[in-house]
Every structure is written in C-alpha cells, then in structure tokens.
C-alpha cells in the first residue's frame, strides 16, 4: 500500500516546482491519519525537499546547523560528568529528554544509522547488513551520543531498566559499536546470574572492537566470566592477555586474587594463547578490521586525502605497531604541518 501511494504521488508531479510543493503539502495533510502515515510523510517530505531551490536549501541547512539542542545539552553536561557528578548530569539530561521529540526512529520502510567512520559502516555491512532503506543521521544531530550517555548515567544510578532501554536505542543506531555493547554487557553482569548475555555481548564487542582499550576490556570481561564459572586458569590467561592492549590495575588485582586461590597466574604467552583458543575465543583484533584499515588508509593516501589517511593509519598502528605504518604516519604529519 505504501509503495502504491508513493508511486501515485510521483505520477502527479510535473515540471513546475511551485505546483509540486503545493501538491505535496496537500498530500501530507491527506495522509496524516493513514496507517502508514509515518513512512508516507517522511517520503513526501523528502520529495518536498527536492522541490526547494539551492538558496532555500542553503537557508534551511544554516538554520538546522545553528539549532542544535542535542549538542547544547551534551556540552552542558560533559563538564558535570567529568567532575563525577553523575546524579546532577542525569537530572539535567532527564529534564531535556522529557521535552525531546522522537527523532530518526525506524519505520517499516527506513532504518536510521550513524557510524563514527567508514570502518564501522564496513563492519556493519559485512556482519549485519541493512534490512530496509538506510538513512544516515546528520553529524549535527548526535542522537547516538545522547542515548549512550543517558543509558550510561542510568547505569551509574543503578536504574538498569532505563539503562538497558536507552543503550539499546543507541545500539540500534550503531549496532557495531563496541563501547555500547560493553556498557550493555555491564548491565547483564549485574542482572543475569548465569552471565549468558554478559558473555554474548562481550564476544560481540570483541568482534567489532578496533580500539586497544576496548579489546582489553573485552578480555577482562571474559576473564570475569570464567572466574564466575570457576575456571580460574582460563580467567588468568584472559587477564594476562588483556594487558597486551592495556595495562589496567583491575587486571593485576584479579590475577593476584587468582594466585591467592592457589592457581598459577603467571602464564607465558604460549600458555595464554592455548587456553584462550581452547574456549574458541577470538585472538587479537578481528582480521577483517585489520584488512579494512589497510584498504582505507591506502585508499585515502592515494587520493591525497591526507587527514583521513592519517586517521586510519593511526588506528592501524595502535593495533599492529607496524614500523612501516609508523613511518607513513610520520611522513604524513610532516606534510600536514607544513
């Protein structure tokens, strides 16, 4: 029915943009109470946008970029969060959210996403894929960060129901975000006595992670999982291996605890790898990610898009510590600084 209506409207459009605008406005009014009104009105609004001339589009964009309530509230609460005043930040954000209209919500035709970079979009396309038409949320509408921070603050307040609700909203926008998956795993560490969801969300995060600190956190999470399973030897291997990516005091503390139980926690690299592989846990960063980083950095380097090339080379180097990549980074920085 949706497709038939849209096709019928398109057939009635002509060359005169002013007449088209008036017609589309009338159709928006006509279908406002239709069962598919959300999807129809969104598509008619896109068609209405195409009827604007360049000057009208420019004026609209300028107004949209200047009106950034999401950015404004995030900038207001960031210093409060940095000062550790989570309750105050939650109070301010809660008041904002109560008056915040729903934006960029999926419907039966479209799904809305925001990816931090091309790598994340490539990961999404490789492992998940879109079921509907993908619409990209504009960069000046950071609703992903809004939901993530709101969920994080609820988690800090031990309101697990709302934390899960808003973190899942964030995950729907970016299903391959390791940071969101790891925050959700924390909810299930607290909620689920059998740790099944804690394990599942952590292994998903490990699959998509490309920051060393996220990979380290995944291995620490898995170490916690195997401690709860009373498999302390595997837990020791995971905590040890996590320190390849981040020297976190929590890992040392857990290893000391394991040692106090009479288990050898000072394992060699080979012993760690053998124990981790025995549980079929991913070793190091997903090879697909390394391959894509190599392709992206080389692509932008060849196109002389040096800032993007540098960005992807640095991500690549943080994971591989490849001296050739390091030299490319140095060369690019020299060029960009002149």
Each residue's pLDDT tens digit, 255-285? 999 999 999 999 999 999 999 999 999 999 9
Reported in sequence order, the residue ranges of 48-146 that DSSP labels E, i.e. its strands, are 110-113, 133-136
What pTM was computed for the model? 0.81
Contact 312, 297 (CB under 8 A): yes
Among 297, 133, 127, 307, residue whose Cα is nearest residue 203: 127
CA distances from 330 to 133, 197, 301 (A): 41, 43, 13
Mean pLDDT across 297-316: 94
Among 191, 254, 247, residue whose Cα is nearest residue 222: 254
114 pLDDT above the threshold of 60: yes
- Which residue do the tokens 């080979």 mark? 270
DSSP-assigned states of every residue in 197-210: HHHHHHHHHHHH--
Residues 185, 186, 187, 192: what is their CA dihedral angle, to the nearest 10 degrees? Answer: 80
Q: What is the pLDDT of residue 321?
A: 95
319-329 burial by CB neighbour count: b if 16+ within 10 A, else e?
A: bbeeeebeebb
What is the chain's mean pLDDT, rounded? 89
> pLDDT band at residue 25, thresholds of 50, 70 and 90?
low
Contact 170, 164 (CB under 8 A): no
Q: Which residue has the higher pLDDT, 277 or 194?
A: 277
Q: What is the pLDDT of residue 186?
A: 93
The answer for residues whose C-beta is within 8 angstroms of residue 175's C-beta and 6 or more apart is 124, 128
Q: Which residue has the higher pLDDT, 15 or 220?
A: 220
Contact 223, 242 (CB under 8 A): yes
Reported in sequence order, the residue ranges of 65-161 that DSSP labels E, i.e. its strands, are 110-113, 133-136
CA distances from 193 to 32, 108, 168, 236, 241 (A): 47, 36, 20, 21, 25
Q: How far apart are the first and last CA of the chain?
A: 59
Q: Which residue has the higher pLDDT, 328 or 15?
A: 328
State the Cα–Cα distance between residues 173 and 151, nearest whole angstrom: 14
What is the three-class DSSP state of 229? Answer: coil
């Amino acid at each position: 029915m949706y497709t038939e209506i849209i096709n019928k409207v398109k057939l009635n459009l002509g060359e005169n943009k002013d007449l088209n605008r008036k017609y589309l406005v009338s159709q928006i009014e006509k279908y406002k109470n239709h069962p598919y009104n959300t999807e129809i009105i969104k598509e008619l609004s896109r068609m209405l946008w195409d009827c604007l001339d360049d000057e009208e589009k420019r004026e609209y964009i300028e107004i949209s970029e200047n009106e950034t309530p999401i950015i404004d509230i995030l900038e207001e609460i960031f210093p409060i969060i940095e000062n550790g005043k989570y309750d105050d930040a939650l109070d301010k954000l809660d008041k904002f959210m109560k008056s915040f209209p729903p934006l960029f919500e999926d419907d039966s035709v479209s799904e809305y996403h925001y990816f931090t970079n091309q790598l994340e979009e490539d990961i999404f396309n490789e492992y998940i894929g879109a079921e509907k038409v993908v619409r990209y949320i504009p960069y000046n509408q950071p609703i992903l960060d809004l939901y993530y921070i709101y969920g994080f603050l609820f988690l800090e307040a031990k309101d697990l129901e709302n934390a899960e609700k808003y973190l899942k909203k964030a995950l729907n926008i970016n299903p391959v975000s390791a940071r969101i998956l790891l925050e959700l795993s924390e909810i299930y560490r607290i909620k689920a006595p059998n740790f099944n969801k804690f394990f599942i969300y952590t292994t998903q995060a490990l699959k998509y992670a490309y920051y060393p600190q996220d990979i380290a956190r995944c291995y620490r999470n898995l170490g916690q999982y195997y401690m709860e399973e009373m498999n302390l030897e595997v837990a020791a291997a995971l905590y040890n291996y996590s320190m390849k990516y981040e020297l976190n005091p929590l890992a040392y503390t857990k290893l000391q605890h394991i040692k106090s139980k009479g288990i050898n926690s000072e394992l060699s690299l080979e012993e760690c790898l053998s124990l981790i592989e025995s549980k079929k846990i991913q070793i190091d960063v997903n090879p697909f990610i390394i391959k894509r980083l190599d392709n992206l950095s080389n692509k932008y380097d060849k196109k002389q898009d040096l800032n993007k090339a540098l960005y992807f080379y640095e991500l690549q180097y943080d994971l591989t510590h490849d001296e050739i990549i390091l030299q490319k980074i140095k060369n690019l920085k020299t060029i960009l600084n002149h």
